[in-house]
């Protein structure tokens, strides 16, 4: 079982690459957003807590998110886990490390999808324009101003994880702006299966 974190700013392709790993390696994507939405409607004790917090418009605590991740790790089968949207901060990274250790699991790879911010903004804005031109709709936050706000949030809170995992000898970087297949091949090479 292989456990990985995909790091990178919004729009870097983490979701696309995570889905490929799910399909090709039977990995389980642990998306905190999906887990919170699932918990909110589950009717469990944890779900009721999550619903109350989210309905009040408050942020769910790290302890609750770790609890949800812990539940997902227990008894799951497959090729391992992809942590998506977690950790976002250094305290969350510490908590995840402790949780994995308590379950006898390891974090095998932390893969950073490196991007050039200007190229990334152009790519996301272009993606939105293509969606509209094709008769579809663009994500509400797929515009230059929203993306710049999301990038600033990423750099303030999440980018310190790059140094954190580098210092632990766990960080590998790949070019996140390549073609989807090229990025996937680079990730596979990092994971030892080209």
User: Among all residues, which ones are annotated catalytic?
Assistant: 14, 88, 127, 139, 150
* Residues 88, 184: Cα–Cα separation, whole Å: 23
- The dihedral built from the CA positions of residue 122, 124, 129 and 134, taken in this order, carries a sign that is positive
Using alpha carbons only, give the angle 103, 106, 110 rounded to the nearest 5 degrees.
140
**Contact at 8 Å (CB) between 97 and 3?**
no
CA–centroid distance for 71 within its chain: 18
159 burial class (0-12, 13-18, 19+ CB within 10 angstroms)? middle
Which structure tokens are listed for 115?
Answer: 């991007």
**Contact at 8 Å (CB) between 53 and 74?**
no
* Residues 12, 175: Cα–Cα separation, whole Å: 9
Under DSSP, the state recorded for 10 is T
């Amino acid at each position: 079982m292989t456990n990985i974190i995909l790091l990178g700013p919004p729009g870097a392709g983490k979701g696309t690459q995570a889905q490929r790993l799910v399909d090709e390696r039977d990995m389980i994507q642990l998306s905190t957003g999906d887990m919170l939405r699932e918990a909110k409607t589950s009717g469990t004790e944890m779900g009721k807590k999550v619903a109350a917090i989210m309905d009040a418009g408050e942020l769910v605590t790290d302890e609750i998110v770790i609890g949800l991740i812990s539940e997902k790790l227990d008894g799951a089968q497959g090729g391992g886990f992809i942590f998506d949207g977690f950790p976002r901060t250094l305290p969350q990274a510490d908590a995840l490390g402790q949780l994995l250790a308590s379950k006898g699991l390891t974090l095998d790879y932390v893969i950073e999808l490196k991007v050039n911010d200007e190229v990334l903004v152009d790519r996301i804005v272009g993606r939105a324009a293509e969606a509209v031109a094709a008769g579809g709709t663009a994500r509400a936050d797929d515009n230059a101003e929203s993306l710049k706000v999301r990038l600033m949030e990423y750099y303030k809170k999440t980018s310190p994880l790059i140094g954190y995992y580098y210092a632990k000898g766990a960080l590998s970087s790949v070019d996140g702006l390549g073609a989807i297949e090229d990025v996937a091949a680079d990730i596979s090479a990092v994971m030892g299966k080209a």
